[in-house]
A and B are shown apart, each in its own frame.
Chain A
Amino acid sequence: MPEDYGPIVILAVVAVGLSAIAIAAPALFGPKRPTETKLAPYESGKLPIGPARRRFSVQYYLYATLFLLFDVAFLLLFPWAVVFRDLAPKMTGLLIAGIFALTLVAGLVYVWKRGGLEWE
């Protein structure tokens, strides 16, 4: 069935082609009259102040990491909760999820106690 992919190939060619034309046409035919104002970096219409490279606090990376961890963990608990009614030995199901959740709680206790949740 390679022929089934024909329309996709056509779509891909059209998409790439149109984009190429849209980029190439102004570059070829458009008038170019650069002035200093036009070449300045665009900052929402305001005059640029200072360089863009500045130091900023990256404390939030800890929060981001922790969020990711617990987010994925709960992602795994949701399907479990949905099918819990149908699990055959319910206690085994509860036990497995319980061990999982307890391990997470241990992690949370660790982070909390080590000051990972403090914002300085």
Chain B
Amino acid sequence: MEISIAPLNLLAIAPQIVVSVTALVVLLVGLFLPEEHRGRIAWPSLAGVLIAAGLLYYLWDRNDLTLSAMLRTDGYSLFLNLIILIAAALAILFSVDYAGRVRLPRTEYYSLLLLSTTGMMLMTAAVNLITLFLALEMLSIALYVLVGLNRAEQRSGEAAIKYLVLGAFSSGFLLYGMALVYGQVGSMALDDVRVHLLSTGSQSPVLLWLGLGLMLIGFGFKVALVPFHMWTPDVYQGAPTSVTAFMSAGTKVAGFAALGRVTLVAFSGLQNVWIWVLAVLAALTMTIGNLAALRQTNLKRMLAYSSIAHAGYVLVGLTAANRTGLDAVFFYLFIYAFMNTGAFAVLIAAHRLGSSPVAGENLDDLAGLAEHRPWLAAAMALLMFSLTGVPPLAGFLGKLYLFSAAVEAGLIWLAILGVLNSVVSAYYYLRVVVTMYMRDKKGAEVVPAPLCPALQLGIAVAAIATVFWGLWPASILNLVTITTRSFFGG
């Protein structure tokens, strides 16, 4: 008997391969470097990420099923991979100085960062429940360790345990949902689920409904939708800030990629059902995220709640379930990666300028920043305005597209709620700006430390991106429309 192996189309997943091989190489090279030179590992890591991004460009108009139809390299996965790689590259730039200063084990740090990136990139390409789950675990397990990597800080370990226990719990929900779907359909492929649903229609058995519900819980946990968001503030606060910057953008992209494939492809036959579930989740997530952020004085916690609120905005676009909606989701995730990682990077810079181990985390630490660090304060102000959604910055356009997609889909109440929430969010974002520009620094002295050039570069890129794509969004919008057209098969 002959067992034939399907031809390996390794080129289609070359970006993922490059990133994972870089992770292994970095791990082994770091072992043989003396401690004082380990910081240099950042550069080969960054090179791996940039090469992978170059390969994305090379693969751009492909639509390949690869590895026995487990992964699909199409515009959908390539564009989202681009966002993930941007987040990873920015996170590496932010870590160059920070990782050494807070004494993270840098060999493991960069290696795990790249492995987590690989998991996220595989997740965007997964078209089978098995690969979807494996990719999710790959990114999660690496992140559990990254969150707890700062062993000098008790909060870091606490955050890691919370993330691990709740993450494992939510993985259980996800897996149980997948098992129910498999039990009904008899296949793990998302396309088979879709075909099955097309034949049964709305008379589909309750197993599929349950399965979808459980899977939504699993993904909802990963992207921090509201009833499943409890872990977010604690984990974001406890994790090393550079890790928070990375996971707040990367995990959301990967989670929404999976959520998009599962709802829009596999369960498109049940659209009239899940649309209401997602609409309610989006409304709750926006409202509770923003209201909770109002009361935070710790900036990391505030940004954690703000990231919950932004997950709600993105979900509005997904709820619209049309091409405009997906366009908006893609554009918003792209912009969000810059805005959010940039905001965390400013906290890293403020940490450098303070003297205590938690410097840069509290609102008061930013008081008077405009006076002694005018450029840093200006960048932070831009990022905060963009997160609020003030025109002409990119965050405004992103929200405009998301809410207009909701209006187009007839979900006018959701769009109105989104706009109201943006108004509420202005309070806590602008409070940061007010603190930087209108309050004087009291008490603690400012360390006149020079900022690491890599960190400055990263913050500059993030701030300029929000201005650039706010004024000239056409370049990204063109990419996005090409991507979604191929996704909806138009």
Residues of chain B within 8 A of A86, CB atoms compared: 1-3
| CB < 8 Å neighbour of B24 from A83, A87, A88, A103 | A103
Min CB distance B30 to A, Å, is 9
Asked if B449 lies at the interface with its beta carbon under 8 angstroms from chain A, I say no
Mind listing 12 A-B residue pairs with CB under 8 Å?
A: A86-B1, A86-B2, A87-B2, A87-B3, A88-B5, A89-B4, A89-B7, A92-B5, A103-B24, A106-B24, A109-B31, A113-B32
Q: Chain A contacts of B27 at CB under 8 A?
A: 106, 110
State the CA gap A47–B250 with chains docked (Å): 61
Given the known interface contacts A86-B3, A88-B2, A92-B8, the answer about A114 and B28 at a Cβ–Cβ threshold of 8 Å is no
CA distance A114 to B30 in the complex (A): 11
CA distance A106 to B115 in the complex (A): 14
Contact B4–A88 (Cβ < 8 Å): yes
Binding site for A on B (CB under 8 A): 1-5, 7-8, 24, 27-28, 31-32
- Known contacts: A103-B24, A106-B24. The answer to whether A113 contacts B5 by CB under 8 A is no
Nearest CB on B from A76, distance (A): 14
Q: Which residues of B contact A89 (CB under 8 A)?
A: 4-5, 7
Given contacts A88-B4, A114-B31, 20 further A-B contacts (CB under 8 A): A86-B3, A87-B2, A87-B3, A87-B4, A88-B2, A88-B3, A88-B5, A89-B7, A92-B5, A92-B7, A92-B8, A93-B5, A96-B5, A96-B8, A103-B24, A106-B28, A109-B28, A110-B27, A110-B31, A113-B31
Q: Complex: how many Å from CA A115 to CA B28?
A: 14
**Complex contacts, A110 vs chain B, CB 8 Å:** 27-28, 31
Contacts of A103 in B (CB 8 A): 24
- Chain B residues with Cβ below 8 Å from A88 are 2-5
Q: Is the CB of A83 within 8 A of B3?
A: yes
Complex contacts, A113 vs chain B, CB 8 Å: 31-32
Bound complex: CA A93 to CA B4 (Å): 9
Query: What chain B residues lie within 8 Å of A114 (beta carbons)?
Result: 31
A6 CA to B3 CA in the complex, in Å? 42
For A83, the chain B residues whose CB sits under 8 A away are: 3
How far does the alpha carbon of A90 sit from the alpha carbon of B242 in the complex, in Å? 45
B-contact bits for A64-98, CB 8 A (1 contact / 0 none): 00000000000000000001001111001101100
Cβ–Cβ < 8 Å partners of A92 in chain B: 5, 7-8
Q: How many A-B contacts if CB must be within 8 Å?
A: 34
Docked pose: A96 CA to B3 CA in angstroms: 14
Within 8 A of B (CB), among A5-49: none
Query: Top 9 nearest A-B pairs by Cβ distance?
Result: A88-B4, A113-B31, A92-B5, A86-B3, A106-B24, A88-B2, A87-B3, A86-B2, A86-B1
**A residues in contact with B4, CB < 8 Å:** 87-89
CB distance from B186 to the nearest CB of A (A): 21
A36 to B480 Cα, complex, angstroms: 81
Within the assembled complex, what's the spacing in Å between the Cα atoms of A87 and B2? Answer: 6
Assembled-state Cα–Cα distance A114/B32 (Å):
10
CA distance A87 to B8 in the complex (A): 14
Which A residues are in CB contact (< 8 Å) with B31? 109-110, 113-114
| A87 interface neighbour in B5, B7, B32, Cβ under 8 Å | B5
Give the most central of B4, B5, B27: most A CB within 10 Å. Answer: B5
CB distance from A58 to the nearest CB of B (A): 17
How far does the alpha carbon of A88 sit from the alpha carbon of B6 in the complex, in Å? Answer: 9
Q: What's the Cα separation between A110 and B8 when bound, in Å?
A: 29
A86 to B4 Cα, complex, angstroms: 8
Please report the C-alpha to C-alpha distance between residue A113 and residue B33 in the assembled complex, in whole angstroms: 11
Report the separation of the CA atoms of residues A96 and B10 in the bound assembly, to the nearest whole angstrom: 11
* A-chain residues with CB within 8 Å of residue B7 when the two chains form the complex: 89, 92
Closest to B30 in A: A110
A11 to B164, CA, bound (A): 41
- Assembly CA distance A96 to B2 (angstroms): 17
Give the docked Cα–Cα distance between A103 and B20 (Å).
10
Nearest-neighbour CB distance to chain A for B406, whole angstroms, equals 45
| Least CB distance, B18 to chain A, in whole angstroms | 14
Given the complex, which residues of A lie within 8 Å of B8, measured CB to CB?
92, 95-96
Within 8 Å CB of B24, what residues of A?
103, 106
Q: Shortest distance in angstroms between B11's beta carbon and chain A's nearest beta carbon? A: 14
Closest A residue to B105 by CB, please name it: A114
| Nearest residue, chain A, Cβ from B23 | A106
Determine the chain A residues whose CB is within 8 A of the CB of B5 once the complex forms. Answer: 87-89, 92-93, 96
Chain B proximity of A88: nearest CB distance (Å): 4
Distance, CA A71 to CA B303, complexed state (A): 43
State how many angstroms separate the Cβ of B485 from the closest Cβ of chain A: 35
A74 to B191, CA, bound (A): 33
Residues of A within 8 A of B28 (CB): 106, 109-110
Q: How far is the CB of B105 from chain A (nearest CB, A)?
A: 10
**B68 to chain A: closest CB distance in Å?**
11
> What separation, in Å, do the CA atoms of A86 and B5 have in the docked complex?
10
Name the residue of chain B whose CB is nearest to the CB of A95: B8
Query: B3 — which chain A residues lie within 8 A by C-beta?
Result: 83, 86-88
Q: What is the chain B residue whose CB lies nearest that of A106? A: B24
Q: What is the CA–CA distance of A86 and B28 in the complex, to the nearest angstrom?
A: 35
- Give the chain B neighbours of A95 by CB distance below 8 A: 8
Instruction: Report the separation of the CA atoms of residues A37 and B32 in the bound assembly, to the nearest whole angstrom.
Output: 62
Nearest CB on A from B138, distance (A):
13
Q: Which residue of B lies closest to A113 (CB)?
A: B31
B23 → chain A, closest Cβ, in Å?
Answer: 10
